[in-house]
Structures are given as C-alpha cells and as structure tokens.
Amino acid sequence: MEKFKRLKNEGNDFVKMGDYEEAASKYSECMKLNTEECTVYTNRALCYLKLYKYEEAKQDCDHVLQIEDSNIKAFYRRALAYKGLQVRKKNMAGI
C-alpha cells in the first residue's frame, strides 16, 4: 500500500508539472497494485485527455463507472473523451 501511495503522489506531481505521459505511466503502475482504486483511473483519464488519447480516456472512465456508477469525475471526463472522439471523427470525414 505504501508503494501505491508513493506512485500515485508521483503521478500527481507529474500532472502538476504538465508531464502527462510520465503521470499516466505512474498511474498505470498503481493499477498493477490495486485495480479497484478509482482515483488513479480518473487521473489517468485526465492525462489521456491532455494527450488527445480519447479512446483510452473513455475506457478508463468506463472502468470506474462499473465500480462506482455515480462517479462525477468519470462521467465528466468520459463526456470530454466522447467530445474529442466526435471532433476527430468529423476531422477525418473532412479529409
């Protein structure tokens, strides 16, 4: 549990610095230790949104909502992921 907290805090620090790739990596390591902790999934979803990885963000939010069906951050970030996917789809159609 101590390693989990350390990795999560490191991920949070990377988010604050704007290093979303590294933060997502730390959150992914956290998930190997605990798959039920929803905050690391919503945090990684935020990183994926910042990196324009909308499908990955949506998947993380879907996972959270299977565990906590009223998680507001997961709903909000999934909506942002859907929005990003729609914009990407429209841009591809215009090519």
Per-position DSSP letters for 3-19, written without gaps between them? HHHHHHHHHHHHHHHT-
Name the band, by pLDDT with cuts 50, 70 and 90, for residue 89: confident
pLDDT at 71: 97
CATH domain 1-93 topology: 1.25.40
pLDDT at 95: 53
- Picking from 74, 70, 39, the residue whose alpha carbon sits closest to that of residue 58 is 74
Phi-psi label, residue 53: left if phi above 0, alpha if psi -120 to 50, beta otherwise: beta
State the alpha helices, DSSP H only, in the chain.
2-17, 20-33, 38-50, 54-67, 72-93
Lowest mean pLDDT among 6-15, 19-28, 39-48, 82-91: 82-91
Domain boundaries, the chain: 1-93
pLDDT tens track for 22-69: 999 999 999 999 988 999 999 999 999 999 999 999 999 999 999 999
87 vs 89: CA distance, rounded Å: 5
What letter does residue 37 receive in the DSSP assignment?
A: -
pLDDT at 7: 97
